[in-house]
Structure 1
Amino acid sequence: MLRALLATVSIIATVNASYACTAVDIVAADKTVIAGRTMEWAFDMQWTLVSQPKGTEIALSAPAELKLPTITVPTKYAVVGVSAAIIPGGALLEGQNAAGLGMSGNFLPGFTQYQAVSKTDKSYVSILDFGSWALGNHASVADLRAALPTIKVWSDDSLPSGPTPPTIHFVFTDRSGDGMVVEYVGGELQIHDNVAHVLTNAPTYDWHLLNTRNYLNLTTIGVSSREISTANVTALGQGGGLMGLPGDFTPPSRFIRAAFMRHNITPPANADEAVQAIGHILNTVDIPLGIAQSTDGKEIVSDYTQWVAIKDLTHNTLKIADYAHRTTFVTLDLNTIFAQEKPSAVLVEKLPYPAAVDGTSALKN
């Protein structure tokens, strides 16, 4: 028992030092679906915004030692997403397709074990090609949910995954508002309805849902005053109902903070309000440089929010901002990009971010 407890503590300690990502989605009263996410990392991953037109060929391969054939399939849907150029082939960790299916991949270290491919398997894909396969060939969460049990998703040390192993779980959302979380635990596929409309990192999604029971006391309405003996003691300000809301940047705390905000924010009426709602929620988990640090040998490294993306899955638009332009998003009309027949790519940091508007004239006499 003690050995098992210590093993669990060791895993959680590793998780708490892991890379931080937070994804949130919301549906406006007019049925617009907005899904946003932050991407935190401690290294320069050369994040690249890429366009994969309809018909892009995806190579579905198996581990080399099995000597199984690589199957090449053309995609059914155009995709725009974000990949890490440091990884050969550019694995998608974020994106949306022309049919309104969106994806965010968040790291799940310590808990992810992908599936084992056997020599008798006919359908397989490496984790590095999974994002392009999922978005390129499925129109909705329901479509992808039906397809996942038919394909083996694998990873091994031969994959060029950059400075960290590709231990990832995914949240998918479509323009109907349907959402699911996809994890690979113990070599088995796990699919969860995204009832929280939030995903962070480790532990697994079901653990995060159980953990929400520790915060049932949280409320948006605080106690304004209380009679103590003969004194009427008043609150110092608003927000007292949130005493106990975790403020650190560990995955469990970010999950609780984002989920509370998501389910208690004033419901948005339309796309603009939904984008603003998601932006405000993501602001509560934004990590500045120097705040979330860990040691890598003798070197101190800092996890920080390298970029933020907000997807309008209903109208096919994307807003994105890197660390240096956190308050000035670039907006892309994806329908125009989807109509292109050639792939394209640009570093996220090289996007044409707008300059701040000079409002001096508003107060000039």
Structure 2
Amino acid sequence: MCTSLTYKDANSNWFLARTMDFGFELGGRPVVIPRQHHFTSDATTTGFDTRYGFVGAGRNLNGYILVDGVNEKGVGAAALYFTESVYAAQPQNGATNLASHEVLNWILGNVASIADLKEKFANVNILAVPNSLLKIVVPLHWIVADSTGASVVIEQQATGVKITDNPVGVMTNSPDFDWHLKNLNNYVQLNPGLHSDKPYGEFTANSFGAGTGALGLPGDYTSVSRFIRTAFTRQYTEVAANTGAAINTLSHILNNVEIPRGVKIQADGDFDYTQYRGYMSLAEPTFYMQPYADQTITQVKLTEKLLNSAAPVEFPLQTQQQFHEVN
């Protein structure tokens, strides 16, 4: 399960960030997909073509599958697990037929803005086709944002595809996005200040000081609680002065929902944990990846050379010595 959010710095530059929380080891790394790339597809024999170059976290599985990233037009997107997804059983003539795990590649490769997405996605048909790595039809929904700060959530259920404007700038997992927005109404009392003293009969209850305004903020790892916690911290965290400060700020916001290994056990005994955090600068555009095992952030900026390369380019994750022995 995962958490995502949009963020604006003091220069009005926008970012999209996410945690990748999963039990199965995905093994992704930063990769640049160049312009005019052809993808093979699990949904059709013809595959699909892309126009724009993009960078994100992915893996080569007889063709690259990405789960988040940003393209040269400043459109960022992330795929998150969504168990309520319902996909089509058959291809549609004249439509762009995609497996769920291919949707993000198509978005980043063909969409120049949120307005462009809303127009083009009307011709997309998402099929119930298994993923070659997980061997299942991967239930996903998507958060997409552009460099203007516009953001939407894409979900497909039994009633069809729904593209919803995202006014809160946060997305997690099930229930559906509209449910999460309604649930925010249960937390209108949250604030970053102090609660005032309250009389109870002849007794006055005194608050314990700073932080009491956040009493009731849920602290567990469910998608419902992570949504509320992220919406709160996104709303009140100090605005970062520049890109470097924004990436640092986003890492602190996502620290609030990062899942350490072993604390979230599934029914089969496996456990989810935050395999990495991804940060997408939509203005530059640049992708940053911060893995669980080493908190060093790897940065990959889209350049003309990379965008015009003959084939996708992978980048190793940077590492550094975290601890130094003191004699």
Asked if Structure 1 and Structure 2 have the same fold, meaning a TM-score greater than 0.5 normalized by the shorter chain, the answer is yes
Aligned-partner Cα distance in 1 for 2:264–2:234: 23
Residue 327 (structure 2) pairs with residue 353 (structure 1): no
**Matching residue of 1:13:** none
CA contact (8 A) 2:8 2:14 kept: yes
User: Structure 1 residues 141 and 357, CA, compared in 2 at 3 Å: closer, same or farther?
Assistant: farther
What SS class does the counterpart of residue 272 from structure 2 fall into?
Answer: strand
RMSD, matched Cα? 2.5
Instruction: Write the letter of the residue equivalent to 1:130.
Output: V
What's the CA shift for 1:172? 0.5
Larger Rg: 1
Aligned-partner Cα distance in 1 for 2:226–2:212: 19
**TM-score (norm. length: structure 2):** 0.90
Structure 2: tracts of 5 or more residues without a match: none
User: Structure 1 residues 184 and 104, CA, compared in 2 at 3 Å: closer, same or farther?
Assistant: same
Among candidates 292, 296, 321, match of residue 290 of structure 2 = 321
What SS class does the counterpart of residue 273 from structure 2 fall into?
Answer: strand
Instruction: Write the letter of the residue equivalent to 1:98.
Output: E
Aligned-partner Cα distance in 2 for 1:302–1:123: 35
1:111-126 superposed matches below 5 A: 111-118=84-91, 120-126=93-99
Aligned-partner Cα distance in 2 for 1:356–1:339: 36
Aligned-partner Cα distance in 1 for 2:243–2:92: 48
**Matching residue of 1:79:** 54
1:25-40 superposed matches below 5 A: 25-40=6-21
Aligned residues: 325
CA contact (8 A) 1:96 1:313 kept: yes
What's the CA shift for 1:318? 2.0
Aligned-partner Cα distance in 2 for 1:169–1:72: 20
User: Structure 1 residues 149 and 273, CA, compared in 2 at 3 Å: closer, same or farther?
Assistant: same
What's the CA shift for 1:294? 1.8
Aligned-partner Cα distance in 2 for 1:71–1:165: 18
CA contact (8 A) 1:35 1:278 kept: no
**Matching residue of 1:23:** 4
What's the CA shift for 1:252? 0.5
User: Structure 1 residues 203 and 227, CA, compared in 2 at 3 Å: closer, same or farther?
Assistant: closer
Residue 279 (structure 2) pairs with residue 304 (structure 1): no
Aligned-partner Cα distance in 1 for 2:214–2:135: 38
Among candidates 74, 82, 99, match of residue 73 of structure 2 = 99
**Matching residue of 2:242:** 270
Among candidates 299, 302, 305, match of residue 331 of structure 1 = 299
Aligned-partner Cα distance in 2 for 1:25–1:317: 15
**Matching residue of 1:251:** 223
What are the Cα deviations for residues 207-250 of structure 1, in whole angstroms up to 9, with x where unaligned? 11011111111111112656778887643331111111000000
Range with bigger deviation, 129-138 or 271-280: 271-280
What percent identity do the matched residue pairs reach? Answer: 29
What's the CA shift for 1:116? 4.4
Aligned-partner Cα distance in 1 for 2:137–2:14: 32
